[in-house]
Amino acid sequence: MQVIGSIVLVFSLVPMVLIVARRPEDLNLGLDGDAPVQRTDDATGALVVQADEQEWTARQALRTRAFWLLTFASMATAVCGAGLGVHRIPYFTERGMDPVLAGPLLISFAAGIGVGGFAAAYLSTRMSLRKVLALLMFLWMGLIVALLNIPINPIIFVYAFAEGMMLGGFLAMNPVIYALYFGRGSLGTILGLSHPIVFGANAFGPIYAAVSYDATAQSYTIAFMSFGAFMGVSALLALFAKPPKPLRTAAAH
């Protein structure tokens, strides 16, 4: 076992340290296909590739309106996504869906997640990322409203696929907009500051739906209407999350 462990350690860590490229600049490339920015290193005189982006620290990001708007938009989305994720199947089964269909329904949802990431990436080439996120959340709100009256027939698989697309698009684009706004230097720390809020909301969603269900004569109507309202708020927050002022401009004020 020790020999096998040593082999796994060597063949998993060594390539990561010596081979894996972590940034486009490591391969003499720029971001998103742009021409790389080159400068002369003061110490060696050699040409090096430099990222054409501003690097925000976590403390600087916390002082921006954009960080908090994006974080609260993610929080509201997490409430809805987690709440629906836990209660979607019970809602369908109590309305007459055969429990055997739960597996295929989840497969349809998962397929939508995969497609949604690509669709959102394509949209991001046609409009700003904040508008892409706002559009996804607005469409998701419409799906939640439709969920209250959806018939239990094969259309539920279309619904699951569409909802998966919204979640997949959000999961793909949300980290990208943070990187676009604040750079990649402290991206992990900046995202880490938002995660406790988002994860707390993720835990709150299913609990809220369960409590609401028990308090309203075993009906999901209030919970799902609330989720729709949360998603509408998320769309507005994302839409108004404009890029922060450049660091030099912010520093001047």
- Summarize pLDDT for 80-95 with one digit per residue, the tens: 999 999 999 999 999 8
For 110-163, what is each residue's pLDDT tens digit?
999 999 999 999 999 999 999 999 999 999 999 999 998 899 999 999 999 999
For residues 227 and 14, give the distance between their C-alpha atoms in angstroms, rounded to a whole number: 46
Spatial distance between the Cα atoms of 69 and 234, rounded to a whole number of angstroms: 9
Tell me the domains of the chain and their CATH numbers: 2-50 (no CATH), 58-247 (1.20.1250.20)
Burial class (CB in 10 A: 0-12, 13-18, 19+), 160: buried
pLDDT in tens, 45-78: 544 444 556 788 888 888 999 999 999 999 999 9
Q: How far is Cα 71 from Cα 175, in angstroms, rounded to an integer?
A: 11
Q: Which residue in the block uniquely carries the two structure tokens 């394509």?
A: 122
**The pLDDT of residue 143:** 93
* pTM of the predicted structure, to 2 decimals: 0.76
Report whether pLDDT(205) > 90.
Answer: yes
* 12 CB burial (10 A radius; 0-12, 13-18, 19+): exposed
